[in-house]
Structures are given as C-alpha cells and as structure tokens.
Amino acid sequence: MAAVNDMEKKLAEYKCDTNEAVCLKLVRFPEDLGDESTTFHPEYSHQLFGDDEVAFGYKGLQIQLYYSAGNLSSLFKVKYTARVTDTFDCVEPDDVEGKIREIIPAGFCCNTDDFISLLEKEANFKPFGSLLHTYKVHNVEAGEDLTYQIHKVDTSCPGFREYHERLQTFLMWFIETASFIDVDDDRWDFFLVFEKYNKDGETLYATVGYMTVYNYYVYPDKTRPRVSAFIYSGESARAHGCQLTITSTEDPSENYVKLRDFVLVKLCLTLPSFSSEKLSQGFSEEMVSEAREKLKINKKHARRVYEILRLRNTDMSDEEKAKEFRLEVKKRLYGPYRKNQRELTKMQKCLRPEELASHISQMDTRLQHEELEKSYQDVLAEYRRVLERLAQA
C-alpha cells in the first residue's frame, strides 16, 4: 500500500493547471514574444481539458498560442521541462497538442522565425467590414488617448471567414459554455473592435475584441437582434463594451449583467421619460415605449433601469422615502410568490386535505418573506454597484 501511495505522489507531480499552462498573446512587435507582461491566460479550459482543467504527464508545461495582433496569424508550441515517460515507461501523457489542434484552424506556424516574418506583413492588414464608430479611451499607463474603431461585418466579406476561424478560438478560453458559430447561417452579424497603433511610422490595426449578434425571426416580418457572445482584451474592456448597445444575451453571465446594467442606465439617462421628475412619478408606459422605440430595450430591462435610477434619486437615509422605494421593488419581486398564492387557491378546490397540507408546507409564508427580503437586499447591492460605476464614469 505504501508503494502505491508513493507512486501516486510521484505521478501527481506531472499534473499541470491548464488555465496557467495555456499562454496567449496578441503580438504587435517581435519583442512581445519574450515579454511576459504581454502574456495572458484563459479563464476556462474545461472544454478541452475536462472539468478539472488539468493536463497530466508533464512538468513545467507551457502551451504557447500566440496571434499576430491584426490578422491573427498563429504560432503554436508546446514546451515542458519533463515528461512522465522519462521516468515511467508504462504511463502515457495527455495529448495536449492534439487537443489544441482540435480548435485552431490549419495554417498556423510552429517556428518562431516563420511567425516573425508574418508580423512584417501586418501593415497590409485592414479591418473587415464597414466602419460604424470611432472613439478614444484614455490609457493611464501610456499617458495618452488611444483610438478605436468598431466595424460591422458579415460572412460575405472576402477573407473574413478565415479570419473568424482564428478569432473564434478565443471563445473556448473565455466563454464558459462556448460553441463555434455556424458561419453558413447568414443571420449572424459580427462587430469587431480594432485599436489603431503606430509601427515604424505606419498606422496598423490590432484586434481588441468582438461581439456576435444573431438576428432572430419575429412574426410576421421582423427580426430581433440578440447578442450571443462578446470578448474584449485588456484592462479597458468595460470602456469598449459601453460603445456597443447591449440589448439582450443568451445565458447572461454575472459580469455581462453588470455591464449591461451600466450601459443601459447610461443610455436611458438621455431619455426625457427617465428624467428626475418622471422617476419620482413611478414606472410608466412612457418609459417602456421610449426605451423600446429609441434604444430597442425591452420592458424587463427598462424596469430594471428605472429602479436603478430611482435609487439614485432616493435619499435612503429618509425612512419614508427608503420604505417607498423598498416596497416598489418588492412589489415586482413578489410576482412569483403571488403566482404561488393563485395556484394554492386552485388547489384548494381539487386536492384532498392531506395533499393540500403537503403543498402548503412547501409555500410557507414566513419563508417566502425571508426569501423576498434576501432578494431585495441582493438587488439593492447590484444596483449600488452600478451607481458606483456610473459615478466614476
């Protein structure tokens, strides 16, 4: 038994955290290749390496997946300081190279010199699609404003399909439940964000992020765009996200909801129906209509924006005003519990006493009030975070 435990300990030394082992770069200059500060790592790797996000069979494993900043030409290398077969003949390491090859398209480099030669061609890269918007974001470290462009493109644009095959590999590392897009479906639109930068006196473009939007059919003759995924690199992700109007998303993450709340609140501040005077009069159809017509925001999100801005205008140290706000939010949150009460009324007519008692125990009033209070406190904390961010903007 001791020998078995000793063997397990030795084999455990050959396990590597794949979120640390995978090294990503968006390379602008040859010197970036040796600069650790330009390296970033995935948030997720379970879709390739399993739920434990571990690769077995290596010590000092480093999976290098580097992209040229503009065209996303790729360099792929696997390095390690030791492999399990060096010590144990009968144990096979995981095929990490094979797993990466499953997601990266053909045509990548395995030689650094070949990749550097591709970097020299980056000056020929120009953003795909049509230019929608140009904006600036102040970079504290550089001490200057950086210029960004948003382009809209679809799969009919020459060269974009191949570029998108390389671009979408980032989904696997930063979207928890990602899957690749069917580019043959022409209802997809793509919004790309590029940074303009200077290299040897020339203006070049670096890929900063992108967003995919699917145009759902709405009966009888309309479509409704829905954001499916978006990814941004660097510390200014929120600033870039705010430049794109976010209306809805599939399976929104917590970070996405925070960003969506901030963007929509900022947008609705420009609408007359969300003025301080109107906010004090309560949530209205005017708000719903104006948010829908001018910003394509649905009623559910308009209501959430109203509550955030109502909190902003409420003196919570005033007991009466605080109570008024609390009751209004709780009234909305109480909807599911009200539904339960209606179901209980129906059950009283058709269930036997013992069945009814069982259902009533599951709908305990005291417990419902506790859950309602917790929901309100959670919402209040979320709203305050949005307002703190708004105050800093």
Q: 32-41, 64-73, 259-268, 371-380 — which is least confidently predicted?
A: 259-268
Region 46-68: what's the mean pLDDT? 96
Whether residue 179 has pLDDT greater than 80: yes
Q: Are 192 and 206 in contact (CB under 8 A)?
A: no
pLDDT band at 302 (very low <50, low <70, confident <90, very high): very high
- pLDDT attached to residue 271: 92
Distance, C-alpha 352 to centroid of its chain: 49
Q: 52-61, 142-151, 348-357, 381-390 — which is least confidently predicted?
A: 348-357
Q: How many CB atoms lie within 10 A of CB 142?
A: 8
Q: What is the pLDDT of residues 97-126, one digit of tens each?
A: 999 999 999 999 999 999 999 999 999 999
Q: Are 79 and 112 in contact (CB under 8 A)?
A: no
Domains in the chain: boundaries: 1-120, 127-251, 278-392
pLDDT band at 311 (very low <50, low <70, confident <90, very high): very high
What global pTM score does this model have? 0.66
- pLDDT attached to residue 177: 80
- The residues annotated with a catalytic role in the active site are 250
Beta-carbon contacts of 21 under 8 Å, excluding residues fewer than 6 positions away, are 55, 61, 62, 63, 96
Q: 319-333 vs 299-312: helix axis angle to the nearest 10?
A: 170
Whether residue 90 has pLDDT greater than 70: yes
Half-sphere exposure of 184 (CA within 13 A, CB side): 0
- pLDDT attached to residue 356: 45
* Token pair 């003025």 in the structure block, residue: 275
- pLDDT attached to residue 223: 65
Q: How far apart are CA 109 and CA 126, in angstroms?
A: 21
Whether residue 293 has pLDDT greater than 90: no
- pLDDT attached to residue 247: 34
Per-range mean pLDDT, top range of 86-90, 336-340, 351-355:
86-90
pLDDT band at 48 (very low <50, low <70, confident <90, very high): very high
What does DSSP say about strands 62-68 and 22-27: parallel, antiparallel, or unpaired?
Answer: parallel
- pLDDT attached to residue 182: 85
Q: What is the mean pLDDT of the chain?
A: 84
The percentage of the chain sitting over the pLDDT mark of 90, rounded to a whole number, equals 53
- pLDDT attached to residue 109: 96
Of the two residues 227 and 387, the one the predictor is more confident about is 387
Nearest to 118 by CA among 208, 29, 202, 24: 29
**CATH class assigned to 1-120:** alpha beta
Whether residue 389 has pLDDT greater than 80: yes
Fold of 127-251: Aminopeptidase (3.40.630)
Q: How many CB atoms lie within 10 A of CB 33?
A: 17
Q: What is the pLDDT of residues 198-224, one digit of tens each?
A: 998 999 999 998 888 877 776 677 666
The percentage of the chain sitting over the pLDDT mark of 70, rounded to a whole number, equals 79
- pLDDT attached to residue 4: 53
Q: Where are the strands (E) in the chain, listed by range?
A: 15-17, 22-27, 54-56, 58-59, 62-68, 74-79, 82-83, 130-139, 144-153, 188-199, 202-218, 222-232
Which tokens belong to 68? Answer: 């040229």
- pLDDT attached to residue 257: 72
- pLDDT attached to residue 236: 53
